[in-house]
Structure formats: structure tokens, C-alpha cells
Amino acid sequence: MADSLALVEPAAPAPAPQPDRRTARSIGSAVAAVLPWAVLLAALPAAWWYTDVPAGDVLRYAAYWSLALLLPGTLVHRAVRGGRGNLPEDLGYGAATGLLLELGAWIVAAATGQQHLLRWWPVPLVLAFAVVPRLRRNWRVGPRRPLPLAWHWSMAAVLLLVLLWAVAQWRLVPLPPVNHTYYQDLLYHLSLVQELTRDLPFQLPQMAGEPLRYHYLSDAHMAAGSMITGIPPATVLLRLWLAPVAIITVLVTAGLARDLSGRGWAGPLAGAAAGLGMPVAVNSAIADGAFAFSFSSPSQTYVLPLLVLLGGICVDAVRGRPLGVAWALLPALGLACAGSKSSALPPLIAGVGVALLATWWQRRRVPWPVLATLLCLVAPMGVGYLLFAGGGAGTLSPQAFAFLHAMPQYRETIGAGAGVRGGGLLPFGLARAGAAGWLLTFALLGWWLLVQLPRLIGMLILTGPRRADPAPWLLSGAILAGAGGIWTLHHPSLSQVYFWLDVLPFGAVLSVWLLTLVRPSWPVAVCAALLGVASYLVVPLMARPAATMAGWAGVLGRSYLRLAVLLLLAALIAVGVHALLGRRRPDGGGRRRLVAVALAGITAALLSASVARGVDGAVRYVQVAPGRPASVALPSTVTAAEMRAALWLDEHSADDDVVATNVHCRPVPTTAHCDARAYWVTGLGGHRTVIESWGYTDAALAANGRRGLGYVRQDPPDPDRFALNERIFRSPTAADLDRLRAEYRVRWLFADTRAGAVSPELAGLAHVRLVSGSVIVYELR
């Protein structure tokens, strides 16, 4: 009975369930991984707001990037190439793909005149991914390739530093209207952004009726962003577009580095080297400022995420990996790159060509995937030349050592007195130089190669077992082609430098890949990296010498010595730390391992010194940049009143209205052979003009050097048009006004008394609509 009773006694209360420690750790890790991205996502709109972007514009632009670029691009990239296995890389690659998709939607809208529908272009695509069963899986991350927690924090830190660099640029360039001298290229791009909101065929806004031939797809991105959000084009150009595109570039570069190396930590390091790195000059007086991103050249920055994405697909293709439908991305991205920056595609094509030759030589048979990749790039480059070539792209000519024109060491010595001469196979000064001049030239070339070692040292991969892999051949070929372009081609504005700037991410990836192959221990890498940082922060800045060959030769000698000491110390510290830790590989054959450790130390020191210089430059800009521009009107300054008049014209006129203006030059007064790069009437005014500034026309560039004048000071390319335009303001007649209406469809006159005399009789022939400072805006009756 007792046993029976015991059976029916109430059971003892079960112990309280213990929380699953693994679940708790998983949640904690997830929170820790999300936190740095939350900081970044908060910092970006805060940076825009801090630099005077209205809160409404910030919210609209954030929604635009999220819904019109990130979302559709991520879905398409996952469908075409598969997911990355983690959200940050998925979004990075997806955003780059979104930029490509946006160009397709924009060109359809421009061709059909349906720009008002452009904001809805992602809707049918997103609906397809929601409705079609085979596409629904692309809403998920897919097979997991998780990233270490340190990756999230280090990558977010790199991107915050990139954002800091962007803030440094923004603080130097206020939003209009304000008294300010804008860099002329920014105003030129602003005029193109305005033009690309119109229908095809596009016209040169500075000379209505002339076809627009330029690599303008970066401006198309900004035009699309402005039309979709309703944000003024000037705000998009001068603030909003830069940081997201730079961030995406770093993310895609990091993904490529991880794919090649198989190491998670390679991603943030490659991203930092690509997005923040600069040449390692050891504070020499001879310092090259090559930086991958450029605020003043939107086309340079915009093309980078597209180019790195294309480079990654090319790597898969030349390795013989099946691409499937991703083959379609090769010509599409190739055309997008050709239309964004004319210098972007040739180095990559050269790299694929090198990979083709290397693979054929090693295997003694035609590598068909590599050949197919090459053809997929050559075809869009040809199409791009037909569609976009112009505006300076056609003025390249062969000239060895042309980049010397960028160096004061040449200009102040053997290049003194060369003027604007550009012809010949050698620069004017070098062609007449003696032995000392040639010695200085080769010393400068050698110095340039040395300070670029953070981008070049990765090519040493080809000396090891990886030389059987086509990928390092591709990247090395692209890097060499970029360096070759800068030193063997001539452009009157030294624009051949972009061949080099476009391949800097590939150089960063290759150098970091080399570091992962050497496999240094963390103490070795950290100590060498600290040395690199110290070399920039501690070594004193070298004084500039007298502008003589002897003075510059002395600086070169001391500069070579400084860099040699850095490389030697990096190698010795790496070997010393390795020896102290007793790190010896059982198969490593001591001497070969020590050489590898020394190489790792040199590479780590170079990369850290390169990044330290870029970060310090951004910090210094933020510290010294003015919080608000001074209200000073100098001859080269466009006044706030002038800007307000131009903005008023943009707001109160129809999209296709044409304007006649007497503003052509910088400074503003119109004089013979002035610097014809004003561009603020078409940029801020937002309309085509009869003739505004002509400094970047094909005719002006082709005339560079004529009568000893640079291309920006050449005569107007259409003298009759220019003469008619000037008569309207100085001695107007009803007949000339009728001719303006009939030939150019002019409706508005934008007269600036700072540019030249304005006849009082004009008020009797046209209706005065606005007076703002020195500007009078007339509407034709």
C-alpha cells in the first residue's frame, strides 16, 4: 500500500530550464556583429546633416539607396552569381550590381521620355523575386559563409575612416548659394548631371545642338538619384553620392581579397589599402599623392565598384569556373565601365591578355574561358569608344616619361620653359637634356616605383607556386598596364594618371594576398605594421630644396636612403620577432622561411605606412577646413547673388529652354584667351546655353599648344555663334534676338555685368524677370 501511495504522490517540481548557453552566445555574437554597422549607419546621415544637407534630403536619399539600389541589386546578384554567405558582402556586391541596373533603367527612361516613372523601376523586378518560386530563395542569405566578429569591427572602422575622408572634402566645398570658387570640374559635371535628366539624344550643355560625347555615366547615376528623390542636383553632386559609392568600393574590394586569399582578415586590410592607402614617401619632399577616390573627379570614384566587381567576375572566368548567366555581366559591366571612365577598361583588358598568354604558355593549349573573357571585354570597349569617346579621351598620344610634367623636380629643372608643348615621343625638356637630365629622370622614375610599392609588391606572388593560377597574372597585368599608361602616354591635363588610379584596388588586393601566402605570425605582422605607422608619424618632413637640379638630386638621395632604412628595419624587426618567438616550420628550411618572414615584414610595414598617410591626411583636412566659407568676392569667386540667380533660372524655366549668357570665363570678366571654364551657368542654372564655356570641347583640346596657349585658353570653336551671342548683350537688335529664337530656341538671357557690359537697350527688347546682384535675367517676349 505504501508503494501504491508513493506512486500517486505528486512529483517533485522539475528543475527550472537553464538557458541554452550556445543560444545566448549566438545572440551575443550577433549583437556584437551588428553594433559596428549600426554605428556606421548612424554616422553617414549624421555626416550629411553636419555638412548642411537638409534632414528631408538625407531621409529621401537613404530610402533611394535602400530601395532602388541595394534591394534590387542584392536580389539580382544572388540570383546570377549566388549569395556571399553573409549580409555585409551580399549588400556590397548587391549595391554595385544595383548601380549597373540603375543605368539600364535610366537609359530606357531617357530614350522614352518617361523620366517621371524612373523611381518605380525596381518595383516589377522586386515583385518578380517575390512571386516567382525559383527566385524567392534569393531573399535569404543562402549557404552560410560567416565572417569573424573582428571582420565586422575592423571593416566598419575602415569605412568610418573613408567617411571621415568624405567629410573632409565636403567641408571644403559649401552648398550653393554662397560666395565661393568651385573647382571647375565639379561645375562641369553638375552641368552634365542637369543634361542627363533630359531625353536622348543628349547635347553639350555649353553649346546647344552639339552632341555630348563624354564618359558621363557617373553623372547619369547622380541624375537618376536626383530625379528619383527630387533632391537638387547640386546637393547630390556636392554631398550625397560620394560616400556610399566609396563604401561600396571598399566592400567589394574586401570581398575579392577574401575570395582570393581564403582569409577573413584579408578583406578589411585590402579595403583599407584600396580606400585609404597612399604612396609611401617617408615624408620626403618628393611625394606623390595618388589616391583611389577623387571628389573632384566623380567619374574616377564612380567607376571603381563597377570595375572591381567586373575584375572579380573575370577572375572566376579565367580560372575556368562556370559562370552560367553571369557571363552576361561581363559585357554589361564592361560597357558601364567604358561609359564611366575611359581609362578603366584598358588595364583590365591588358590583364586578361596577360593571363591568356601565361595560361597558354603553361598549358600549351588555348585557354578558351580566358579568351572568351577577353572578347567579352574588348567588344564593350569598342562600343564604348563609339558612344562615349570625346571630351579629352581622344587627345591621348604616345610620349614616354610624359608624367614628368606632374613633377616640380622636372618642371623646375630640365623641363623649365617647356610651356604647353605636348608633341613628340619625349617631353620637350627631356628631349634636349644631357646625361645629368637623363640621370635625374631615371632617378625620379625609380622613386615613383618605390613609393608605389604598396601597390606593386604583390606581383611577387608570380615567383611562387601561385604562378600557375591565372588570377595573379590578370591582376599583375592590369597593374603593369596602369603604370605603363601613366608613363608612356601624354594628355594635356595629365589625365593619363587615371590609368593608374583605376587599378589601385587591384594592387591592394594583390599585396594583401601576398601577405596571406607568406603567413606571418600576428606578432611579426603587428610589429612591422607599427613600424610603418611610426615611419609616417615620427620621421620629420623633409624641407623643399632650391629649384635646381643639384638641390633636387640631394633630396632624391636622402629620400632613397629613408625608404631603404624603412624596408631594412621592417625586415630586421620581422625576423627578430620571429626568432624571439621561436617560430620555425618543420618543413620550412630555415633560410627560405626567414626570407618569407622578412618579406612579410616589409609588406606589412608598407601597407600600414600607406594607410597611415591616407588617414592622417583626412584628419588634417577635417581639422583645418573652415566650418563656413568666408563671404568674400574675389575676381575668381562666384557670388551668392550670382548663384541665386542661376538657381532661380533653373527653378522657373522649362526643362528644354535654352539660355544665352555672357558668362564664359574664370575669373568672371570675359577677355581674349581667358580660361574658358566657368560652367556655373549651365551647372547651377541647369539649362543648355547658346555658348557658355568651351575649355573642355574636343576642338579646344585638339588645339592645345596652338599659339603657345593651353587648350583652356583657345578661341571659341564656333566664332559666328560666339559673335552673335556677344552682340545680344552689348548691342542687341530685334533681328539678332529673332535669330536666337529661330536657330537655338532661346527663351532666356542670363546677363552678368561682372562678365562684361550689358546694354540698357536689352530691357526694351526682353522682359526683365530677375535682378540679383550683378545678374539680370531676361525672358524673351
Q: Give yes or no for a contact between 279 and 450, defined as CB atoms under 8 angstroms apart.
A: no
Q: With residue 771 as reference, give the H or E element that holds it.
A: strand 766-772
Q: Give yes or no for a contact between 347 and 482, defined as CB atoms under 8 angstroms apart.
A: yes
CA distance 581 to 43: 41
Determine the straight-line distance between the first and last CA of the chain, rounded to whole angstroms: 116
The DSSP code for 571 is H
CA distance 315 to 380: 18
CA distance 345 to 380: 9
* Residue 410 burial (CB count, 10 A): 24
| Joined grid coordinates for residue 258 | 577574401
* Residue 17 burial (CB count, 10 A): 6
CA distance 422 to 419: 9
The verdict on whether omega for the bond into residue 305 sits within 30 degrees of 0, i.e. cis, is: no
Q: What is the dihedral of CA 171, 176, 182, 183, to 10 degrees?
A: 80
The DSSP code for 774 is T
Q: With residue 95 as reference, give the H or E element that holds it.
A: helix 87-112
Helices 470-488/298-318 angle, 10° precision: 150
pLDDT mean for each 10 residues of the chain (781 residues): 39 53 74 94 97 97 98 98 94 98 98 96 97 95 89 97 95 94 96 97 96 96 98 98 98 98 96 96 85 95 98 97 96 98 97 97 94 97 90 75 91 80 82 91 96 97 93 98 96 93 98 95 94 92 87 93 96 94 59 92 97 89 61 77 98 96 96 96 98 95 89 95 97 96 96 96 96 97 80
pLDDT at 9 (0 to 100):
42
Among 691, 668, 685, 679, which residue's Cα sits nearest to residue 756? 668
Q: Any long-range contacts for 754-758 (C-beta under 8 Å, 24+ apart)? A: 754/642, 754/668, 754/669, 755/661, 755/662, 755/663, 755/664, 755/665, 755/668, 755/669, 755/670, 756/662, 756/669, 756/670, 756/726, 756/729, 756/730, 757/729, 757/730, 758/662, 758/729, 758/730
Beta-bridge partners for 548: none
